[in-house]
A and B are shown apart, each in its own frame.
Chain A
Amino acid sequence: MREEITRRARAAKDKTPAYGNDVDLNAFAQQVPAREKITSLAELSQGVKERALGVGVDASMKDRSGSFFQHDQSVVFSASTIEGLELMDINDALKKYEWLEEYFFKVVQPDQDKFTAYGAMHPFSGYFIRALPGAKIVFPLQACMYIGREGMIQNVHNILIAEEGSELHVITGCTTDTHVQKGLHIGVTEFYVKDNAKLTYTMVHNWGPDVVVRPRSATRLGKNAVYMSNYVSMTKVRDVQMYPSCVMEGENGVARFNTVVYAPPESHLDLGGKAILKAKGCKAEIIARTIAKDGGYVASRGLIQGDAPGVKAHLECRGLLLGKGGVIYAVPELIGSLPGVDLSHEAAVGKIAEEEIQYLMARGVDADTATALIVRGFLDVDVRGLPPQLQAEMKRTIALGEKSMM
């Protein structure tokens, strides 16, 4: 099986990605020295702790069901504190469980493009997270992907499995050391949400200014299963391209993608979400709130494909342009292959209407405060279904981003 994966990857090693800018992989360091393991996140240096906290990973590990820390290419810490929750280095898990091969490069294809090919052909690290059948894990699990070396490639492969009837909430924070400007993060993440299970996945990015990021993730969803994906990035990052997908194979599955991003000048973000509704009664929502300021660029994609009767899905791309010279490119796509599917989209890109600012000013706030209030409102997406800690984390990150915009 591995040989087949490697063979396909090799054939795709120069395959240009379908979206986003091409990247010269040779411009980055492929091998970096290993980091030593730690016994608690408390052992991390103060600077690393602070950067991690900025993306929702709390070194105190308070109110967390488990913690995972990948420093460069080394998994330095990994521990679950709750029964029913497995969390370990993906390489350990692949050794421990032979059956895990069935989940390896299954929803993400090794020959999708040069990034997945790179991922398949090179040593990788990452996490294996599994909620055992029926386990309801209320506290979120936190994982940090940390780049501490200038110019390196961080090659990640994660697998998450929510077994039947389980519930799992994960926050992944991705960040760099303050001195790191440049780097490349390739992250293959495969999600399996089985019948009657619920998985929420919140990803917060705060990369160095010249970092290039290529997550490659996909989800397979079972019967009555719920998957919610949240993505927040509010700081300057050179180039991010991702288009995660969710294939909804069981009846009455629910999927929701929320994207909240701010592209300051010199940031290039090409993002989206895909939902393929293949079974009766499935529902999906893809919501994006994007802001581009001055020279910032955001492509906000979305695709909904309805292939079964009685499915309902909605796509919403809203973009706000601040300053001058920013670009937002909204690309909502709907494919209905049967009568009886209910698919809709709305997309709107523009600047803040003067009328709205004036309405607030008529109540006694100045133009800047009015603008800030409207921006905050614009970015306020519905995150019902997330545990309160993660809702607060998203709000906090977004609020910090708002400050930098004004």
Chain B
Amino acid sequence: MLSIEHLSVEVDDKRILNDVNMKINEGETHALFGPNGSGKSSLLFTIAGVPRYKVTAGKIYYKNKDITDAPMDERAKLGIGILFQHPPVIRGVKLRDMVRISLESRGRKVTDADINELAKKLNLENFLDRDANLGFSGGEIKRSELLQLLGQRPDFVMLDEPDSGVDLVNIGLVGRTINELLEKEKKIIERTKSGLIITHFGNILDFVKADRAYVMMKGHVLCQGNSVELLEDIRKNGYGECMACAKR
């Protein structure tokens, strides 16, 4: 599904990703660990095609197509979706509008009833006619982002800290929705959706199973392996050990 080869990226002439390699097959979900500022979100933004993130070396292949230079909207239309950790407030553009364009981007015809139905799933009916992200709480932002992704139905789902700021009541709903997006209810062999989840503390992985995980440090992918084992290790030892490892 997604293959990243020797990817290096700069923002404002500052190197932020170094020789990153990653391969995510159809039906797989991978997790990305790492301390703040390690380059996790930068990697997601680069895959999404945010122009500020300039690829200086390497390639990104999606469904065997080189998308390294493709514009953001084209990537979205091809089926790449992203849950933003800090989406901007857009005054006057309603959440309903965001859901509508998400649905339409994959060539669907949309009615208001479709949007209402989808919003019900995330308890967001009362938010549809509010300005996108204006005054939304942490948990509401996650649900609003997921609602847009439910509309978009991406084949490759990127989730930037879907568990941050979400209370215990809502984390189950967030987890269930992500599982729905990733077709976790289906047998492994039948799954066609793939995911890449950034998580700082790993809470979401109690709800969404990841096949594999990476640890990022200072723009490098330091190690990769079984997500449960890596997370256990990080929970026990923090990133201190990773930092020591990075120095070796």
Contacts and interface: CB of A to CB of B under 8 A. Distances in A.
Interface of A: 318, 353-356, 358-367, 370, 373-374, 376-380
8 contacts: A360-B90, A360-B101, A362-B73, A363-B152, A365-B105, A367-B71, A367-B73, A374-B93
B73 A364 contact: yes
B87 A365 contact: no
Contact of A362 (B52, B76, B90, B106): B76
B50 A377 contact: no
Contacts of A378: 91-92
A366 B106 CA distance: 13
Contacts of A358: 50-51, 72
Chain B, interface residues (CB within 8 Å), range: 20 to 34
Contact of B105 (A318, A354, A355, A364): A364
B160 to A, nearest CB: 11
Given A354-B52, A364-B104, A366-B71, 17 more contacts: A356-B88, A356-B90, A358-B50, A359-B87, A360-B90, A361-B76, A362-B73, A362-B81, A363-B76, A363-B98, A363-B102, A363-B148, A364-B102, A364-B152, A365-B73, A367-B71, A377-B92
Contacts of A370: 73
B73 A377 contact: no
Nearest to A365: B101
Interface of B: 48, 50-52, 71-73, 76-77, 81-82, 84, 87-88, 90-94, 97-98, 101-102, 104-106, 131, 148, 152
Given A361-B72, A362-B76, A364-B77, A373 B101 contact: yes
A366 B84 CA distance: 18
Contacts of A363: 76, 98, 101-102, 105, 148, 152
B90 A377 contact: yes
Given A359-B88, A364-B105, A364-B106, A377 B93 contact: yes
Contacts of A356: 88, 90
Contacts of A318: 91
Contacts of B88: 353, 355-356, 359
Nearest to B102: A363
Given A363-B105, A364-B106, A377 B97 contact: yes
Contacts of A364: 73, 76-77, 101-102, 104-106, 152
A37 to B, nearest CB: 44
B74 to A, nearest CB: 8
Contacts of B71: 361, 366-367
A379 B93 CA distance: 10
A360 B92 CA distance: 13
Contacts of A359: 84, 87-88, 90
Nearest to B78: A364
Contacts of B77: 364
Contacts of A366: 71, 73
A318 B91 CA distance: 11
